[in-house]
Amino acid sequence: MSKRGYHHGNLRQALVDAALTLIEEKGPTGFTLSEAAKQAGVTPAAVYRHFGGREDLIAEAARQGYEMFADLMEYAYTKSQPSALASFEATGRAYLAFARKYPGHYVAMFESGISVNRTPDLALLSGRALGTLERAAAELSAHIPPDRRPPSQMVSAHIWAMCHGVVELFARGSPGTKSPFPPEELLESGIGIYLRGLGLVPPDR
Amino acid sequence: MSKRGYHHGNLRQALVDAALTLIEEKGPTGFTLSEAAKQAGVTPAAVYRHFGGREDLIAEAARQGYEMFADLMEYAYTKSQPSALASFEATGRAYLAFARKYPGHYVAMFESGISVNRTPDLALLSGRALGTLERAAAELSAHIPPDRRPPSQMVSAHIWAMCHGVVELFARGSPGTKSPFPPEELLESGIGIYLRGLGLVPPDR
DNA sequence: TGTACATCAGTGAACGCGCGTTCACTGATGTAC
DNA sequence: TGTACATCAGTGAACGCGCGTTCACTGATGTAC
């Protein structure tokens, strides 16, 4: 490793970390390159040794998020196999857990306006994460009689929407909106009711 | 009306309209007072004849949004009475319709960071809109046997989350994310499955 | 109808600020001999 | 082990820019007589 022992140690990652903190605090457009540099104890110009500019720094923060996100989703899915139902529920929980644990990454990924097609890297990771959710939905759908089975892409879209909505509205301290329930409970119960509606869970448990 | 025939005509509303367009295009933090003034054909300083500053302008845009939103939700609710189910479904549809028709207002209301407690006016209107959804959920819950009835606040939170998630993920041209289904269809089917899960809709229709 | 006056919406110049980015530089680090 | 040299991470000053906000002003409008 040629990284250690340099002037700073590992400025590149320090900048990403600072960016994540700032994005979490001030939102993606409130984030400034200069402030991230300052927080890393460095001149704004130093950033250009490691990144092409402001956008590139945000994109790298998002990339690291997608990487963890994809891993977490895959782990949740695999761990709960071979039960399609358990895998599906686990990916939903993993989604919320990720958003709660890494809010800076979540914002950089889904609210920063960074396109997933910015780099092949980003597109690949994002596809891997979303693909896991879709796979779980597809296996689950297989247990529903074909004539009353919604497309599995639609099922995964419903769950994604529910997850994202819970995160945005109830898992963040959004101003003036206080959650009447813990977000985990809200998501768990929401998904539960939804699955019952699909006929995959007994109507009374 | 003393408004007409002045220098500009009605600069106040012209500024709000410009702000809405800009907020829709560039997001709440990308919006600038100067650009709104320019778009209204006026010097930035002129804004201060009508608003306390940048934030006040955003707040007024949000207020007008909440006003329409509350009206639309109430209309949808009332129009579909006395059926609790029809009223509930109608408010969900009204939510999405509002977000689609007035994206600038929607962003100003839910993504600008403007607190609903900024003015009593805002709090009142927001409470009226959300209250309608909760009332619809409560009446709907009354049709479920008490022992398997989730709290009605939870039901309305689920629906709100699903609506918001669909809006954010699939109703906007968010970069790199293309929706596999029209958002209206997605929301309609999602709410349908959810209601079936609550036991309020026959399992097969 | 015509004149004098008060009002006040919008002007234009100015302010201090922090932004992203550039550039020639410096000086600590690692390497070759 | 010691010296000379190359590398290159980070510096510091400078840039042009657009921002939100202030202020004394101007000049079109509506009103009183």
Query: Whose CA is closest to B57, among B86, B100, B94, B14?
Result: B14
- In chain A, CATH 1.10.357.10 covers 59-198
pLDDT tens-digit series, residues A102-148: 999 999 999 888 889 999 999 999 999 999 999 999 999 999 999 88
- Contact residues, chain B, for A192 at CB < 8 Å: 197
> What pTM value is reported for the model?
0.89
pLDDT tens-digit series, residues A46-98: 999 999 999 999 999 999 999 999 999 999 999 998 999 999 999 999 999 99
> Which of A15-24, A60-69, B41-50, B193-202 is the least confident region?
B193-202
- Which of A29, A118, A133, A164 to probe the B interface (max B CBs under 10 A)? A164
CA of B7 to C1' of D30 (A): 12
**Which residue of chain A is at minimal alpha-carbon distance from B188?**
A158
The residue ranking higher by pLDDT, B114 or A9, is B114
Q: Given CB atoms, is B189 within the 8 Å cutoff of chain A?
A: yes
Question: Is B45's pLDDT higher than 70?
Answer: yes
User: Mean pLDDT across chain B, nearest whole number?
Assistant: 90
CB contact under 8 A, B176 and A148: no
* pLDDT for A3: 35
Q: How many CA atoms lie within 13 A of A76 on its CB side?
A: 25
Query: What span, in angstroms and rounded, lies between the C-alpha atoms of B62 and B199?
Result: 37
Query: What span, in angstroms and rounded, lies between the C-alpha atoms of A155 and A174?
Result: 28
> Which of A23-27, A118-122, B5-9, B192-196 is the least confident region?
B5-9
Query: What span, in angstroms and rounded, lies between the C-alpha atoms of B93 and A154?
Result: 18
Q: Burial level of A45, CB count in 10 A (0-12/13-18/19+)?
A: exposed
Q: Which amino acid is at A28?
A: P
Q: Given CB atoms, is A27 within the 8 Å cutoff of chain B?
A: yes
DSSP state of A168: I
Q: Given CB atoms, is A198 within the 8 Å cutoff of chain B?
A: yes
Query: What span, in angstroms and rounded, lies between the C-alpha atoms of B94 and A44?
Result: 47
Measured CA to C1', what is the nucleotide nearest B7? Answer: C9
The residue ranking higher by pLDDT, B205 or A55, is A55
User: Mean pLDDT across chain A, nearest whole number?
Assistant: 90
CA of A190 to C1' of D6 (A): 63
Per CATH, the homologous superfamily of domain A59-198 is: Tetracycline Repressor, domain 2 (1.10.357.10)
pLDDT tens-digit series, residues A146-173: 988 999 999 999 999 999 999 999 987 6
Query: What span, in angstroms and rounded, lies between the C-alpha atoms of B67 and B16?
Result: 14
CATH of B1-52, one of 3.30.420, 1.10.40, 2.60.120, 1.10.10: 1.10.10
Query: What span, in angstroms and rounded, lies between the C-alpha atoms of B134 and B154?
Result: 9
Q: What are the residues whose beta carbons fall under 8 Å from the beta carbon of B139, sequence distance 6 or more? A: B84, B87, B88
* pLDDT for A2: 33
CB contact under 8 A, B175 and A117: yes
DSSP code per residue over B49-81: GT-SSHHHHHHHHHHHHHHHHHHHHHHHHHHTT
CA of B69 to C1' of C24 (A): 58
Neighbours of B157 (CB within 10 A): 26
What are φ and ψ of residue B125, in 5° steps? -65, -45
CB contact under 8 A, A27 and B203: no
**Per CA to C1' distance, which residue is closest to D27?**
B7
* pLDDT for A202: 77
Residues 37-66 of B with CB under 8 A from A: none
**Per CA to C1' distance, which residue is closest to C28?**
A7
Q: Given CB atoms, is A150 within the 8 Å cutoff of chain B?
A: yes
Among B164, B181, B198, beta carbon nearest to A165? B164
* pLDDT for B181: 92
CB contact under 8 A, B113 and A180: no
CB contact under 8 A, A169 and B161: yes
- Cis peptide leading into B82, omega within 30 of 0? yes
pLDDT tens-digit series, residues A195-205: 999 998 876 54
Measured CA to C1', what is the nucleotide nearest A52? Answer: C21
- Give B23's pLDDT tier (boundaries 50, 70, 90): very high
Q: Detail the protein residues whose CB sits closer than 7 A to any atom belonging to strand C.
A: A 5-7, 31-35, 44-45, 47-48, 53-55; B 6-9, 11, 41-46, 49-50
Q: Given CB atoms, is B126 within the 8 Å cutoff of chain A?
A: yes
Query: What span, in angstroms and rounded, lies between the C-alpha atoms of A79 and A89?
Result: 12
* pLDDT for B176: 52
Which bases of strand D sit closer than 7 A to a protein CB? 8-14, 18-24, 28-30
CB contact under 8 A, B148 and A204: yes
- Give B3's pLDDT tier (boundaries 50, 70, 90): very low
Question: Strand, coil or helix: what is A203?
Answer: coil
Query: What span, in angstroms and rounded, lies between the C-alpha atoms of B116 and B62?
Result: 9
- In chain B, CATH 1.10.10 covers 1-52
Question: Strand, coil or helix: what is A124?
Answer: helix
Q: What stretch of H or E contains A161?
A: helix A152-166
CB contact under 8 A, B195 and A192: no
Question: Strand, coil or helix: what is A173?
Answer: coil
